[in-house]
Structure 1
Amino acid sequence: MFSACRRPSGNLFALVRANPDFRRLLGACALSLTGDWFAFVALSGFVYHSTGSPGWTALLFAINSLPGVLLFPVIGPLTDRFDRRRLRIACDLGSVVPVAGLLVAFHTGSVAAALVCLAVLSVFAAVAGPIPEAALPNLVSGKDLSVAQTALGSLYSAGLLVGAGLGGVVTAAWGPSATLVVDAASFVLSALLVARIKRSFSSAVSTRRLRIRADTAELWRFLRATPVAAAWLWLTAGLRLCYGMVGLLPVYALDRFHVGDAGVGALYLAQGLGAVLGPFAGRWLAGGPFAGRRLAGGSARRRLYVAAAALAVFGLGYLVLAHVSGLGPGMAAALAGHLGVGACAILALNGLQLATPDHLRGRVMVLVFSLSSALQGVSTLAVAPMTAAIGMTDTTRVLGLLAVAYAIVWSTRVRD
């Protein structure tokens, strides 16, 4: 199947050169993710200036993530029952319609219409988002799956850094309409790249009507019968349950370090850099050359332990943040913590890809995305009352210790 192209050997640049289908998928994901953040920056500014309320702006994040949670029983079977490649193309092209609706909403000043368009756009994103992870094992060889998933996972954080930054520049220079035009163009280009991918996105496509209840029951049976897949899901749950403390970064910059908006940006930059580098660090430790060979050595059990250690690093990073008093040490703590986040998340995703058969992989990937959104939302909502009750520092300590304790307990459980 893979003899038509040169055979890369675990090196990202060699893989990108040798595998044009992976190159096109990576490019498509980069375009659509960057475009998404372009639109989100413009929409955030529009809603805030139209309403004058930070609460309405915060509502955008809920609207952006809720569809994936609420529609999980439908989206999961969709990615397994229908051609994933065609489904991704349809979502990319379909996304142009709500982006055009946002243009109309901006010109008419209708916040309600803008929120409806965002909800529709979020539905398309919820369907399209897990497809690359579900399809990836069919596009690259087994020995290249780890490095391919590492690049794809790092791309999500890089898309936030580049997309949000460039989106702000474009919006400031040419206005929100230009930002939305760029977003629409990114979806069209993404669809064209996906259309040029020659290999099948699935080895077991069976187009037939959805059986939501039966398909969901099949997913739960698989997870009960496959302890390693369930273990990776539990690790994802622990990571996202503690993730709400990330929302305290601006408060540290303003109230602890007294460095203003520039300090907020610096802390988020450190967080983003850690999230970009974390997947590569995780792969290096859990199977790459040098340190990876010593620490993981190809052992699935040791890979589990490396992932648990990454979750503990996340907690330890924020425990350090709770005790430092300067921006520099705070940035170092945030960077270290999010190295752990990136490594833990990518090892969990890659572990699930390896443990899941193709005919179920779409449902499992959608479950991971939905579970992450839901638990991260719960954690974020819990941080506000916790901070009001016990203060910012103690809230950070509690969630940091929770991450470390969860990693230790999870490690002892996976020994069996």
Structure 2
Amino acid sequence: MSSRTETVNKKVNNFQSYVRPAEEPHRTIPEILGRETRERTWHDLLAYFLRPTNGHGLGTDPLAEFLKTVRRNTAIDPLGGDLETVRVDTEVQTGEEDRVDIFLTQEEQWFLCLELKVRSAEHTGQTAAYVDTEYIGTRLKTDYPAEAHHYLYLTVDDTDAPTAAAFEHLTWDRLLSAWETLLPEYMDSGRYPNRGVAQFAEFLALMRAEVSDPLEGLESYYTDVQAAKRAHEDLARALAERLRAGVRQPASERQALRIRTKSGRFPQFTEGRYNRIEIDKPPWQAGRSKPTVCIELNFHLRPHVGPGEVQHSPSVAVNLDIRGGQKLKQDLRTAFRNRVDKSEYQPKGFGEPHTNTKWHFLTTEVVLDEVDDPVEAILDKFEVLYEFETVIDKIVRTVPES
């Protein structure tokens, strides 16, 4: 075995205490989709975080750090003005064959023509054509001050220089390093949505794996996946705190809900963190001779490639759950179906579990990437299940003991 192979194996083994071996990265998401050689894939990902108005919820911070990194490492300066008004366009045509990868503009003040290279080299005369053209898209370059025409070449290797002298050169490593320093603040400040933080961490991990040395990419992958997981663990904690604070507590005089947090084996979380919340009332806990009922929020937080090279979007399963012997579960489920019509839960996103799932009444999933406010979306689903409180009270009393 070569020394390089031994080094890789050692790193893998060291990190397996944080991430399950089955989640070992094999290919990036663009590779799975067959888009890893398409430059447009990387243009779109980068532009998504540069646009302050996009749904990542990070505001102008990624753009501000990007422009700061450009100023620190090139002769491009100034790039001022209100960052909220910076326009970010992709694939802007300059001629019959040429398109600028990303075009940033502060109207009438400056423009930055950005050419990205990940797995390819410059086409013949490509950067020179961008400098020489009079128009970029529908905009005349002379509408901007002559000293405010800026060109940037972003590449993996610092020896891969552009042919046009007007282009400044920056490597992906410098940009990623600058952005990676923002992650701890994003996770700890509480000012940013967990979904956006997780997306940003995943993007950085993907780019690291794509442009770095294999050993560096492996270490960065695990570091950033852990960062994304911590962001979602924060979501679990925020949700539990909201529940404890009385959000949607029962308005009746019946016994108040009991909220418990638990850690689980799937997925593997940082020690001391929990990924499951159970909500019940003492009368629903009937002991060994009767089934136990609870509302369960189960966090499936895997913002990366999992077993079978399948991309798992982070989500929270919201279940009306049954615990206990199989016959008791079936009797309880039958009693529930006899009392509750499907029209009471199907329009609200709930369905009965898959046939090989033996422990739920009802289940749904909140995919965190698809909602603006994950906590509110999860609480809305909880509220639907809590509407069946009276039904549960009755059936746990009437189902016979085993």
TM-score range, shorter chain: under 0.3
- Higher RCO by CA contacts (8 Å cutoff, separation 6 or greater): 1
Query: TM-score of the superposition, structure 1-length normalised?
Result: 0.20
- The structure in which a higher percent of residues are strand is 2
- The structure in which a higher percent of residues are helix is 1
Query: TM-score of the superposition, structure 2-length normalised?
Result: 0.20
